[in-house]
Chain A
Amino acid sequence: SAVISQKPSRDICQRGTSLTIQCQVDSQVTMMFWYRQQPGQSLTLIATANQGSEATYESGFVIDKFPISRPNLTFSTLTVSNMSPEDSSIYLCSVSGLAGAGINIQYFGAGTRLSVL
C-alpha cells in the first residue's frame, strides 16, 4: 500500500483567490488522480496526472481552472483558481496501485476540505 500526505487538510478562502493543494506519496507511482467530493456525494474525477506529461482532464474540468503539476513520481499539486463558493468541496488525491492478481486499485489521501466565502 501507499501512504499519501495531503496538505492543507482544510482551508477557508475568499472568492477570486487561488489555493494550491499538495499531494506527497511515500513511494514512486505512475498514475495520480485528483477527485472532488461534494458533502454526501460520491467521487468525481477531475483529472489524471501522469508524470512527465500533461494532465488529462475529465469533462467539465479545464486546465485554466484546475492546473495540475506532476514534477516527479512522488508529488503532485492541484490548484483551484479564481475560486467561487461553488468550488467549496472536498478535494482528494489518490494514486494507482496493484492488488493481488493484478487488480487495479487506488489509495487515497485524507482530503482537503475547502470552503470559499
Chain B
Amino acid sequence: QKEVEQDPGPLSVPEGAIVSLNCTYSNSAFQYFMWYRQYSRKGPELLMYTYSSGNKEDGRFTAQVDKSSKYISLFIRDSQPSDSATYLCATDGGSNYQLIWGAGTKLIIKP
C-alpha cells in the first residue's frame, strides 16, 4: 500500500463547476499536507498547505483535512480553463526533509 494514494484521473469537468480532488494517506503520524499544481512542461508549484483538520481557504481554492479518516481534499470553485493542470498532494512525513507524493490527478476544465 502506498503511503499517499491519489487517483491519477484524468478528471474532466465543464467550466464553472466545483472540482473536488482527493487523497488518502496511511500513516496517522503525518501532520502537514500540501497541494501542488503542475502545468504541462513546468515544475510543480506550491498551491496550498494545511496542518490541522478543517478547512483553509485561498480565493477559489479550499484545502480540507480530515485526520480521523486520513483524507485530504482540494476544492476549486468556479473552475476556469486555466485551472487545467495536474494536481499533486504531498505530506512531509518523509525523513530528511523529504516529501511523500501522491500520483497526481490530471484535471481538465472544458470551456
Q: Could you list which residues of chain A lie within 8 angstroms of chain B, going by C-beta atoms?
A: 1, 4, 6, 30-31, 33, 40-43, 45, 48, 56, 92, 94, 96, 99-101, 103-111, 113
List the B side residues contacting A94 at CB < 8 Å.
43
Residue among B43, B49, B51, B102 making CB contact with A111, cutoff 8 Å: B43
Q: Which residues of chain B from 76 to 111 have any CB-CB distance to chain A below 8 Å in the complex?
A: 88, 92, 96-99, 101-104, 106
Interface majority SS on B: helix, strand, loop or mixed?
Answer: loop
Q: Which residues of chain B from 24 to 48 have any CB-CB distance to chain A below 8 Å in the complex?
A: 32, 34, 41-46
Contact B97 A40 (CB under 8 A): no
13 contacts between A and B (CB under 8 A): A4-B43, A6-B43, A31-B96, A31-B97, A41-B103, A43-B44, A99-B46, A103-B32, A103-B34, A104-B32, A105-B46, A108-B43, A108-B44
Contact-residue size bin, chain B (C-beta under 8 Å from the other chain): 20 to 34
B14 contacts partner chain A, Cβ-Cβ < 8 Å: no
Interface majority SS on A: helix, strand, loop or mixed?
Answer: strand
Residue among B46, B98, B101 making CB contact with A107, cutoff 8 Å: B46
Q: Name the CB-closest residue of B to A39.
A: B40
A-B interface pairs (CB < 8 A), number: 61
Contact B106 A40 (CB under 8 A): yes
B8 contacts partner chain A, Cβ-Cβ < 8 Å: yes
Q: Name the CB-closest residue of A to B89.
A: A42
- Given A40-B8, A92-B43, A111-B42, verify A103-B92 contact (CB < 8 Å): yes
Q: How far is the CA of A101 from the CA of B42 in the complex (A)?
A: 28
Contact B92 A42 (CB under 8 A): no
Q: How far is the CA of A42 from the CA of B41 in the complex (A)?
A: 14
- Given A45-B98, A96-B97, verify A105-B34 contact (CB < 8 Å): yes
